[in-house]
Amino acid sequence: MKLFYQTHSPYARKVLVLAHELGLASQLEVIHHETSPTTRNPVIYQANPLGKVPVLMLPDGMALFDSMVICDYLDTLHDGRAFIPAEGPERYQALRLQALAQGICDVGIKLRWEVERRPQALRYPAYAEGQAYKLEETWRFLEQQLDLDGPVTLGHVALATALDWIAFRGLSDFSSQPRLTQWYQRFCDRPSMQATRYSGQTHD
């Protein structure tokens, strides 16, 4: 299988970290592709009409996207414990945490456009403040309400890669939340995270 990847994408890294956790990383040919909203990558557009990574190319030529679909597929390829529980409260806890982590990345990208990527004259400070507030509320929610212990699920993988991307981009500081910060630091010590560290910058 080929994984069209980007070394600074939190969505792509979520897939690769999960592959490492599942023992499937050796089955993936990881191919870096630069993408951005302002630059067309013809290889990626041929595989995904949205022009986004990650894309998983299966041996039969089928292209799977987005990251959640790829993770769901990978979780069917091993004999160990499922990272997406099949049923019950555990399933929806994992999916809810994955959705929250996905939202962290989505909000972080919007914030980054307003504080860094958009030309200065076109930035909208009130919009940036709104996105930053969403992240701050999420840090409080995670600190106070979520149980981050127990068996690792896709939700934990998604959260760790999202938090590490926020830190990589310097977009928000969650260090005031001690429980969340300790969990994040422990998760970053896992071999799957050490093998997939973020690098590079967006090229428009």
pLDDT at 107: 98
The DSSP letter of residue 30 is: E
- For the stretch 36-79, pLDDT in tens is 888 899 999 999 999 999 999 999 999 999 999 999 999 999 99
- Model-level pTM greater than 0.75? yes
Biggest CA-to-CA distance, the chain: 54
Per the CB < 8 A criterion, the answer to whether 9 and 15 are in contact is no
Domains in the chain: ranges and CATH: 2-74 (3.40.30.10), 88-191 (1.20.1050.10)
Q: Is pLDDT larger for residue 131 or for residue 202?
A: 131
pLDDT at 150: 87
- For the stretch 91-119, pLDDT in tens is 999 999 999 999 999 999 999 999 999 99
